[in-house]
Structure 1
Amino acid sequence: MAESLDKEALLRREFHGQTAQIAWRDLQTYYAHGSVVRVASELDLIEVAVQLGLDNVTQFEQWTASGQVAAVSDDEALAWYEAQRSLWAVVAPPWVLVQDREKH
Structure 2
Amino acid sequence: MRQAYHSQTARIRWHALQTHYAGGRVVAVAPGANLVDVAVQLGMDNTDAFSAWIEAGIVSAVDEAQALAWFEVDAELWAVVAAPWVLVQPAVSEKPSLEQRANESP
The answer to whether the superposition gives a TM-score over 0.5 is yes
Structure 1 outlier segments of 4+, above 2 Å: none
Deviation string for 1:39-66 (max 9, x for gaps)?
Answer: 0011000000001111111110000111
Deviation at 1:102, TM superposition (A): 3.4
Say whether 1:82 aligns with 2:72: yes
Aligned match of 1:44: 34
Question: What TM-score does the superposition give when structure 1 sets the normalisation length?
Answer: 0.86
What is the CA–CA distance in structure 2 between the aligned matches of 1:70 and 1:94, rounded to whole Å?
15
Which structure: greater helix fraction?
1
Would you say 1:20 and 2:10 are equivalent positions?
yes
Output the TM-score relative to the length of structure 2: 0.84
- Corresponding position of 2:99: none
Aligned twin of 1:3: none
1:71: which partner in 2? 61
Q: Which runs of 5+ in 1 are unaligned?
A: 1-10
In 2: Cα distance, 1:85 partner to 1:102 partner: 11
CA RMSD after TM alignment = 1.2
State the identity %: 53
Give the aligned residue type for 1:76.
Answer: Q
How many matched pairs? 93
